A and B are shown apart, each in its own frame.
Chain A
Amino acid sequence: MNTGNSTLLRALFQDNPMALEGTRVWRRFLRTGGETGRAVNVVVIGLFSILYLWLLGTILHYGEDWSGGLLYLEAILLTLAVPASMYAAVSGERERLTWDSLLMTRLSPGQIVIGKLLWRVAFIGGILLLFLPLLLLCHFMPGHARPDSTGYVVRDADYTLAQMGYAQALLFSWALALASFCLWVSTKTKRSITTLAVATVSLLSFLVLVPMLTALFGGKCELLARDHDYSTSYSYQARLESGYAPLAVLSTGLIHLNPFYQLYSLSYEDDLFSTSSLKQDAWRIWGLNDVMPLIYFGASGLFLLGAWRTLQTLEAPRRTLG
């Protein structure tokens, strides 16, 4: 790598002044509102620890495989926490009247975008790391023979290690895409409340409305197709003939972008897109299950690029004078 690149990387990651924001958030978390705030923190952290230890103990003791539930829990936690941590990233600076001072400095738009992302990525990583021991225990414990009242029970873990790894990549990339999306919206809005509203509405329509519409109008989405008789009536050919095709392809495609659906399809040995009937369907072009994290990473890249562009236009002269 040449020196130009490495100084750029340094400025963006290692020596990015914006990293100070992470320190600030961490401090605020540790000392929210003085004594009472500290008490609240102790209680919250205490409750979390108890819950965590209970989960740990139960898995260890009974050899339960709760990995499915844990993955969903992780997904829910990230989906809620990431927008909450990001929605005020830039619009908040505008509201708190610190933005102009920031623009006056020699910080580049890239440094601001990456700097805003850095501690949030650490935060996402922290959540994933927190769940990792639980998931690994779930994987290894049920695999062991364990005596119970009926004798020895030997069970396979719900997920293979590869699937577990895939799920982690999926969750991380999903959270990153979400963070980047919120950052992008935040650069576009004047007020944080607008960012929050836009993020909430987008998330709700993406995660809830689209599947609902799919179920209603695409009707024959895969979710239904797999649980019912999908041998003939829901084949692509049938839809094509019934004029359903574009809607079906679109809706089934969109639903595949849903991380919860992705987690759901993890637990099936046969991947949706490798089932015999679906293999014949043209809509397996949407069969991007295995590269879903790449799609989320790609989306993150696009959103970050959008955020960067917005900051650039804020910086650049908008008019040339003769």
Chain B
Amino acid sequence: MNTPLLQAEILRKTYGPLVAVEGISLELHPGDIFGFIGPNGAGKTTTIKMLATLLQPTSGTATIDGIDLIRYPREVRPLIGYMPDAFGVYDDVKVWEYLDFFAAAYRQSRDERTATVDRVLELTDLTEKRDAFVQGLSRGMQQRLCLAKCLVHDPKVLLLDEPASGLDPRARIVIKELITRLGQMGKTIIVSSHILPELSDFCNRIGIMERSHLLISGDVETIIRQLQPTRQLLITPLKGVGASGPLREDLEAMPQVEKATVENGDDGTVRVAFTGGLSEQAALLRTLIERGHALCSFTESAMDLEDVFLRVTTGRVN
């Protein structure tokens, strides 16, 4: 694969005896949306601040677009759009003035600024609020405005620290859609949350952090495969519990089936631990049909992020 846009190597941050972040390594490519999950106090904000060049790591290195962000913070900052977990907005300014201010702070000319403000307002769906005063916006809109502010200089990397915290479900969905769209635009995004379902839909990569350790990280499918080396198939016979016995016996005799068990319940579903790939899975189905089993359902029970999260953090959470 091509060179990563964001790369961190054993980033570490300590406050005296307290280790806030213990040796984090990361590699992200354009278009990656990295979900950074962990309970409060895990070290997510500390990590993000280090990547944003606002906090000096105790040790370790990190680069963005090949530039060492510890040595050249001023060169790296224009590449980053950083949304802090707790942020303030200036009051007594209008939405467009607020964005215009930041565009000017990124040294854009007057004409460029007009176009920029229109663009980010459009992107964050705030065009109607153009002339509203910032302090009059709802929490969700302020959050979007903060995101809009991060976009005025068209950064390559977005560091979003809990962008959906404190929002109602609807506003949360709006923010999620926005982040998904930004990912499609090719931006590299790190988005943190202490609530897993917030991130499960749109991240292609995740990292789970707990007590200053990054327990696991990588792309979602790889992680699931790692944690669940066998695929779980759920096969339901048409005739219910009565037919599940023979079905189970047949299945156990087949290649690549490690184990077949009848699930609890009255529909007689058989759970199969299967080591084969997709084509073997298709062959299995064909064989079953040929042998005369009447099946009404044949599905893979995919482990979702929630299961991953529980599996990874079990025993470490108090």
Contacts and interface: CB of A to CB of B under 8 A. Distances in A.
B82 A317 contact: no
A103 B56 contact: no
Nearest to A314: B54
Nearest to B77: A104
A208 B39 CA distance: 54
Contacts of A15: 104
A17 B90 contact: no
Contact of A107 (B59, B61, B72, B105): B105
Contacts of B139: none
Interface residues of A, number: 26
B84 A101 contact: yes
A105 interface: yes
Contact of A104 (B70, B82, B101): B82
Interface residues of B, number: 34
Contacts of A275: none
A269 interface: no
Given A105-B106, A317-B71, A24 B54 contact: no
Contact of A105 (B70, B90, B93, B105): B105
Interface in A12-26: 15, 17, 20, 23-25
B311 interface: no
A42 B77 CA distance: 45
B291 to A, nearest CB: 65
Contacts of A104: 52, 54, 77, 80, 82
Given A17-B105, A104-B77, A98 B70 contact: no
A198 B68 CA distance: 38
Given A317-B71, A320-B71, A100 B78 contact: no
Interface string B55-78: 010010100000010111110011
Given A20-B101, A101-B149, A106 B82 contact: no
A315 B73 contact: yes
Interface string A14-54: 01010010011101100000000000000000000000000
Interface of A: 15, 17, 20, 23-25, 27-28, 96-98, 100-107, 315-321
Listed from nearest, the 6 A-B pairs whose CB atoms lie closest are A105-B105, A17-B104, A97-B88, A96-B88, A24-B92, A98-B88
Given A98-B88, A317-B70, 18 more contacts: A23-B92, A23-B97, A24-B92, A25-B92, A104-B52, A104-B54, A105-B106, A105-B153, A106-B78, A106-B105, A106-B106, A106-B107, A316-B74, A317-B71, A320-B71, A321-B59, A321-B68, A321-B71
